[in-house]
Amino acid sequence: MKKGLYGFIALLVLAAAGFSIKAAMPAAAAKDKHLNVSRMKVDNFFHGREGTFIMKDVQTNQTYIYNEKRAKERMTPQSIFKIPNALIGLQVKAVRDEYDVKRWDGVKRELDSWNRDHTLGSAMRESVVWYYQALARDIGEPRMKDWVHRISYGNEDISGGIDQFWLSSSLTISPLEEESFIERLYKETLPFDKPVMKTVKRMMIQEEGDHYTLYGKTGTRTAGYNMGWFAGFITTEKHSYIFVTNVNDTGITAKQITTDILKKYGLITH
């Protein structure tokens, strides 16, 4: 009788242990589970705003597009053009490195963070328009036109003025074209020196976690209509993803939409 009782107790212990192991498995599996990009659903993150979201898994080439019509529409890049502007400036040596300082001219602008001296890197992070306008003038129209053509950036039209063409002006690019540009930057297949591309990518870091690094740049248009961008990529332990968000709102909103999506799908974890 005792033998039978002990055997029954042993079975209960094993069953409990088996249940515990099984119960623990989903959490461990979730960490390693690969995101199937093609099955994403993001329309609820836009809250009725007109916009588009593109995400591509670099390793599998799977791509998700929310609102394909909008994704093909060319729009002014605004401050996401700081990415190619920095690449070109470094390549042609119009600026030495990410620490190259430009002195504030004393003109009070709308954001307090703009009203001081800046480096190439700090001006990228703070989205300081005057710094990158000065950089574009230092690059000059002939070199800028040549490089915008070399990288096939949107419609390649810089006729709107050397320090204005990307700001509600002549240069336009579609979200799909921007995704392709960011992917080539990520893979370092653009026609720039590799140290130049590595520097600009480093300047794009937005945040870092234990299992991910988020890179990106916002852009906002307020002239005529509101439109915001957030373009970049996120690297995780096993995969990297290119993303572009464009919405009829601000760049801050585009970034918030993006990070909310990345959190939902477990790419940003805290």
Q: For the segment 239-268, what is each residue's pLDDT rounded down to a tens digit?
A: 999 999 999 999 999 999 999 999 999 999
CB neighbours of residue 103 within 10 Å: 9
Inside any domain, residue 60: yes
Tell me the pLDDT tens digit for each residue of 74-85. Answer: 999 999 999 999
Predicted local distance difference test score (pLDDT) of residue 33: 57
Q: How many helices (H) and strands (E) does the chain have?
A: 9, 8
Inside any domain, residue 27: no
Inside any domain, residue 225: yes
Per cent of the chain over pLDDT 70 is: 87
Inside any domain, residue 76: yes
Q: Which of 79, 127, 174, 240 is catalytic?
A: 79
* Strands 118-119 and 205-208, sheet pairing: unpaired
Q: Which domain, by its residues, includes 167?
A: 36-264
Inside any domain, residue 19: no
Q: Model-level pTM? A: 0.87
> How much helix, strand and coil, in percent to the nearest 5, is found in the chain?
45, 20, 35
Bridge partners of 230? 218, 245
Q: What is the CATH number of the domain that holds 110?
A: 3.40.710.10
As a whole number, mean pLDDT of residues 115-138 equals: 98
Tell me the pLDDT tens digit for each residue of 211-242. Answer: 999 999 999 999 999 999 999 999 999 899 99
Inside any domain, residue 163: yes
Total count of domains within the chain? 1
Inside any domain, residue 242: yes
Q: Quick check: is 79 catalytic?
A: yes
Inside any domain, residue 178: yes
As a whole number, mean pLDDT of residues 114-126 equals: 98
User: Could you tell me the pLDDT band of residue 38, with boundaries at 50, 70 and 90?
Assistant: confident
